[in-house]
Amino acid sequence: MSTPTLAAFKVPQADNEPMKHYAPGSPERAALQAALDTMKQELPFEVPCIVNGKAVFTGKLAKQPIPHAHATFLCTYHEATPEVVDAAIAGALAAKKEWELMPWSERAAVFLKAADLISGKYRYRLLAATMLGQGKTAWQAEIDAAAEMADFFRFGVKYVEQLYAQQPEKNSQGVWNRVEYRALEGFILAVSPFNFTAIGGNLSGAPAMVGNVALWKPSPMAIYANYITHQLLTEAGVPAGVIQFIPGPAEEVVAKAISSPDFAGLHFTGSTFVFRKLWKDIALNLDKYKAYPRIVGETGGKNFHLVHSSADVANAVHQTVRGAFEYQGQKCSACSRLYVPKSLWEGGFKEKLLSETKAIKVGDPTEWGNFLGPVIGRFAYDKITGYIKKAKDAGGEFIIGGTADDSKGFFVQPTIIVTKDPSFVTLVEEVFGPVLTVYVYEDGDFEKTAHLIDESTQYGLTGSIFASERKAVLTASNILRNAAGNFYINEKSTGAVVGQQPFGGSRASGTNDKAGSISIFYRFVSARSIKEGFVGLEDWSYPSNLV
C-alpha cells in the first residue's frame, strides 16, 4: 500500500549538540569512567560484518589493537571476503527499492533518532570505544563521536529538507514544473578513515539520508567505534541492507565493490595517495558502469598558521599548541607549519611556544590529565619517526621533542622544528603526527611569505592568519584564497563545526564538497525535472508559420 502525503512536515530546528566538559566531579566524567571501566573489563569484542541486517562471521580474522597499549586488542573482527561483498551489493540493491520510496519524513525520523541515540544512550560507549581504539582523550572523543556525529545527522536532515524545497521559480500558464531529487541508481561505497568516528557515520549516513544504499568499509583502526555506530543506526531504524558494514582488507574489498556495474559513487575520506589511486581504478572500470559514478573525496592537508607582527602573541601561541598537537596532530586540519615574523619570534613568541609545549602531558588517553595520547599504530609511528629522522638529517633545529617510544604504546613527543629552508621536508609534506615546523620570516616579507605558503605545497585544506591589523588580514585572505577551503582569522586551523564552518579543501586536499553542509547532498542525488501540462494543444503549428 502506498503512503499518502497528508501534510508538508517541517523538521525540527537543528542546534549543535551541547558539549559535555568532563570536569572533575561532573556526572559526565563519572559516566564516561564507568563506560571505560566496563569496556576494559569486557574487551576484546568480536565484530562481524553486517549484511542485510545479519551478522556474518567469515572466520577470516583481524584485530584492532589499542594504540596506547598495543599488546592489547579492543576487538577481533571478521573480514569481508569477495563473496560477502557480492552479497552486500545484491542485498543493498534489493533494500533500495523500499528505502528510496519511503516518505522523506520517515527517513528524516530515522536520522533524528540516531542523533538522539548518540547524545544519550550510546554517548559514553561511543566515546569509550573512540578513546581506547583511536587514542583520543575524553574531550577529543566528545568533539568527534558525540558532538560531530549528532550534528552531522541533525543538520543533515535540515539540509535535505532545504534541498527538497528547491523547486523551479516559474510555471508557464497551464503548466506545473517540479524537480525531484532521486537517489543514485546503484550503491554508494563509503570508505572511511581512522581519525574521526563521526566521519564514518557521515560517509555512510549522508548518502543514505537521500535514499541511497551504501556499502561501508571502515578503517581497520576504527572498527569497534564504527561498529557501535552501525548498531545505533540500526536501532534508529535504518532498515536491513541499507548500510552494509563490511570491514576487511582494503584493496580487495574496495576493488570488488568498484568493479560492480552497479557502483554509483565513492564517498571517501583519507589520504591523498589512496584517493588518487581509487579515482584512477574507477576510471579504468568506467566502461562497466551503468552511469557515471560520483566521486567525492576529502583528503590530506599541510595546514598553516601565518602570524603577522600585529598579532596577539598569547592567542597565536595557545591556538597553535591546540591546532598542532591536539589528537597528536592526526586531524587532517592540524597546523603543521607555522610562519612567524622575526621580531615576534625573538621577542617572546619562541619562549612562550616552548614553555606551553613543555607543559603538555603525553600518555594513556583514558587517564584524565593527559593532553596527548598515542599515534594510531605501527605504520603511523614509523612514518612520523621517519619524518623526524629525515628532518634531523636535513639539519632542522629541534627546539623541543623529536623523541618517541613504542615499547608499550605508540607515543611521539610533541615536536617543534625550526628551519630556514622554505621547502624543508616537514614544511611541505603531510606528516600526520605531533610535529610542527616553524619558518621565521623577516618582518618586511609578510606578503612574500603568504605567497610562499600558497605555492609551496600541493594542498589546500585549512589555514589561519593571526593579526590585529585589518590590512594584514585582508592581504593574507586575498593571497591565500585558494590555499585553504577552511580559512581562519585569529583562530586555530582545526575544529570546524557542522552547521557553522562547512568543511573541506581543494587542490590535493579533496573535491571540497563540504561535509556538514547542503552541498554534500547534491553529490548523492540525480535530479529529475517534471513538467506537467494541464491544457491540451488545439493545433500543432505556430503563429510564425502563418503567411
Ligand X SMILES: N[C@@H](CCC=O)C(=O)O
Ligand Y SMILES: NC(=O)c1ccc[n+]([C@@H]2O[C@H](COP(=O)([O-])OP(=O)(O)OC[C@H]3O[C@@H](n4cnc5c(N)ncnc54)[C@H](O)[C@@H]3O)[C@@H](O)[C@H]2O)c1
Query: Is the CB of residue 371 less than 8 Å from the CB of residue 318?
Result: no
In this chain, which of 122, 152, 194, 446 binds ligand Y, going by CB under 6 A?
194
Q: Distance between CA 532 and CA 6 in Å, rounded?
A: 21
Considering only the stretches 224-232, 329-337, 342-350, 415-423, report the one whose residues sit in contact with ligand X under the rule CB under 6 A: 329-337
Q: Locate the DSSP E strands across 420-524.
A: 435-441, 459-460, 462-466, 486-489, 506-507
Q: Is 342 exposed, middle or buried (0-12, 13-18, 19+ CB in 10 A)?
A: middle
Count of residues that bind ligand Y according to CB under 6 A: 30
Which residue type occupies 516?
G
In this chain, which of 494, 509, 511, 517 binds ligand X, going by CB under 6 A?
494
In this chain, which of 294, 331, 507, 523 binds ligand X, going by CB under 6 A?
331
Considering only the stretches 66-74, 326-334, 341-349, 367-375, report the one whose residues sit in contact with ligand X under the rule CB under 6 A: 326-334
Binding mask 349-388 for ligand Y (x = CB under 6 A): ----------------------------------------
Based on the shown chain and the rule CB under 6 A, indicate whether residue 319 belongs to the binding site for ligand Y: no
Query: Is the CB of residue 290 less than 8 Å from the CB of residue 186?
Result: yes
Catalytic residues: 298
**Toward ligand Y, which CB reaches closer, 449 or 462?**
462
Within 13 Å and on the Cβ side, how many CA atoms surround 175? Answer: 12
Based on the shown chain and the rule CB under 6 A, indicate whether residue 332 belongs to the binding site for ligand Y: yes
CB of 508 to ligand Y, least distance (A): 10
CB of 243 to ligand Y, least distance (A): 15
In this chain, which of 274, 362, 375, 438 binds ligand Y, going by CB under 6 A?
274
Query: Is the CB of residue 267 less than 8 Å from the CB of residue 202?
Result: no
Based on the shown chain and the rule CB under 6 A, indicate whether residue 496 belongs to the binding site for ligand X: yes
Considering only the stretches 70-78, 100-108, 434-442, 495-503, report the one whose residues sit in contact with ligand X under the rule CB under 6 A: 495-503
Based on the shown chain and the rule CB under 6 A, indicate whether residue 196 belongs to the binding site for ligand X: yes
Considering only the stretches 31-39, 185-193, 342-350, 486-494, report the one whose residues sit in contact with ligand Y under the rule CB under 6 A: 185-193
Find the farthest-apart pair of alpha carbons in the chain and give their distance in angstroms, rounded. Answer: 94
Kindly list the distances between the CA atom of residue 310 and the CA atoms of 289, 454, 492, 511, in Å, as whole numbers in the listed order.
Answer: 55, 21, 17, 34
Query: Is the CB of residue 298 less than 8 Å from the CB of residue 274?
Result: no
Of ligand X, ligand Y, none, which one sits near residue 186, judging by CB under 5 to 8 A according to partner kind?
A: none
Based on the shown chain and the rule CB under 6 A, indicate whether residue 300 belongs to the binding site for ligand Y: yes
Which residue type occupies 88?
A
Q: Distance between CA 308 and CA 346 in Å, rounded?
A: 14
Of residues 433 through 472, those in contact with ligand Y by CB under 6 A are 461
Based on the shown chain and the rule CB under 6 A, indicate whether residue 193 belongs to the binding site for ligand Y: yes
Q: Which of 74, 83, 75 is nearest to 56 (CA)?
A: 83
Considering only the stretches 69-77, 148-156, 271-279, 315-323, report the one whose residues sit in contact with ligand Y under the rule CB under 6 A: 271-279
Based on the shown chain and the rule CB under 6 A, indicate whether residue 195 belongs to the binding site for ligand X: yes
Q: Distance between CA 533 and CA 517 in Å, rounded?
A: 35
Based on the shown chain and the rule CB under 6 A, indicate whether residue 270 belongs to the binding site for ligand Y: yes
CB of 210 to ligand X, least distance (A): 21
Of ligand X, ligand Y, none, which one sits near residue 299, judging by CB under 5 to 8 A according to partner kind?
A: ligand Y
3-state class (DSSP) for residue 455: helix
Torsion sign over Cα 277, 220, 430, 475: positive
Based on the shown chain and the rule CB under 6 A, indicate whether residue 463 belongs to the binding site for ligand X: no
Of ligand X, ligand Y, none, which one sits near residue 496, judging by CB under 5 to 8 A according to partner kind?
A: ligand X
Based on the shown chain and the rule CB under 6 A, indicate whether residue 332 belongs to the binding site for ligand X: yes
How many angstroms separate the first and last alpha carbons of the chain? 55
Q: Distance between CA 275 and CA 353 in Å, rounded?
A: 35
Instruction: Give the alpha-carbon dihedral of 31, 36, 42, 48, to 10 degrees.
Output: 100
Based on the shown chain and the rule CB under 6 A, indicate whether residue 247 belongs to the binding site for ligand Y: no
> Would you tell me which residues interact with ligand X (CB under 6 A)?
195-196, 331-333, 494-496, 503
> Would you tell me which residues interact with ligand Y (CB under 6 A)?
191-196, 199, 217, 219-220, 250-251, 254, 269-271, 274, 277-278, 298-301, 332, 430, 432, 461, 504, 509-510
